[in-house]
């Protein structure tokens, strides 16, 4: 179930897998996929299940099929490490994808931009389009509304019996929207709520505004 937001005069649809769809230009926003991370950790002996690798590509394919975007913008940390098998899988995925691909560079994007350009993918450090400034790390943007990733935001909920639940979320504050991490093998960072902050939790197949979580409250 999608959750629609009106931001800076534009409509964004938030998806329960952590992507946002900007309706007017038909653009899908995806942050912190961290491709390559699974193989990187497996190479160094970590017991990471191989299915986490395929899950990233299955989910990417599914959300692209759902929205059929004209453009896909990755908000940084698309590829986590040096070249490994996951890059070859990404090349195959990118070449079979009809959408225009954009990358806003993140701190883990250490591969040469030439590799992305060879796939027809534009690489840049920041991208201003319409009322938005797309960056990897959150920025104070003056008149522009900033959409970013990097932090892997989450919210902690507490129930009446001292139960606690930690959920990834979209985090909206002032003129910033921070997307959750899309990657299957990524951590989260609980953000302490401040007055006026809004959280949109990813809960199964739903995106739920925090005030709609029956019986739950922030810890």
Question: What digits encode the pLDDT tens for the residues 140-155?
Answer: 878 899 999 999 999 9
Distance of CA 185 to the CA centre of its chain: 13
Q: What is the pLDDT of residue 217?
A: 45
Residue 44 pLDDT > 50, yes or no? no
The Cα–Cα gap between 86 and 216 comes to 39
Classify 215 in phi/psi space as left (phi over 0), alpha (psi -120 to 50) or beta. left
Q: Name the least confident of 50-54, 180-184, 185-189, 193-197.
A: 50-54
| CA dist 55 → 12, 44, 59, 134, 141 (Å) | 25, 21, 6, 26, 34
Query: What is the span of the domain harbouring residue 21?
Result: 3-218
Kindly tell me the burial class for residue 13, based on how many C-beta atoms sit within 10 Å of its own C-beta (0-12, 13-18, 19 or more): middle
- Which CATH number goes with the domain that contains 146? 3.60.21.10
The tally of domains found in the chain comes to 1
Q: Name the least confident of 66-70, 125-129, 157-161.
A: 157-161
pTM over 0.85: yes
- Look up residue 205 and give its two tokens: 């197949």
- Look up residue 43 and give its two tokens: 């190479």
E strands, the chain, are 3-7, 10-14, 20-22, 27-30, 71-74, 100-104, 122-124, 127-129, 132-134, 145-148, 153-158, 164-173, 176-178, 189-190, 198-203, 206-209, 217-218
Q: Are 74 and 101 in contact (CB under 8 A)?
A: yes
Using alpha carbons, select from 179, 193, 185, 110 the residue that is nearest to residue 138. 179
Using alpha carbons, select from 123, 31, 131, 41 the residue that is nearest to residue 76. 31
């Amino acid at each position: 179930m999608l959750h629609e937001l009106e931001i800076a005069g534009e409509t964004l649809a938030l998806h329960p897998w952590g992507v946002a769809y900007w309706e007017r230009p038909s653009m899908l926003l995806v942050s912190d996929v961290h491709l390559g991370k699974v193989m990187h950790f497996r190479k160094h002996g970590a017991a990471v299940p191989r299915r986490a690798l395929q899950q990233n590509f299955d989910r990417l394919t599914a959300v692209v099929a759902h929205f059929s975007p004209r453009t896909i913008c990755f908000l940084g940390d698309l590829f986590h490490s040096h070249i490994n098998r996951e890059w070859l899988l990404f090349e195959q995925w990118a070449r079979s994808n009809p959408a225009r691909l954009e990358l806003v560079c993140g701190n883990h994007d250490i591969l040469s931009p030439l590799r992305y350009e060879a796939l027809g993918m534009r690489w840049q450090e920041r991208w201003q389009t319409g009322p938005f400034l797309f960056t990897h790390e959150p920025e104070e943007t003056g008149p522009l509304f900033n959409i970013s990733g990097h932090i892997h935001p989450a919210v902690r909920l507490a129930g009446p019996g001292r139960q606690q639940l930690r959920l990834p979320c979209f985090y909206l504050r002032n003129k910033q929207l921070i997307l959750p991490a899309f990657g299957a093998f990524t951590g989260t960072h609980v953000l302490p709520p401040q007055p006026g902050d809004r959280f949109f939790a990813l809960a199964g197949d739903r995106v739920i505004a925090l005030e709609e979580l029956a019986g739950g409250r922030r810890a």
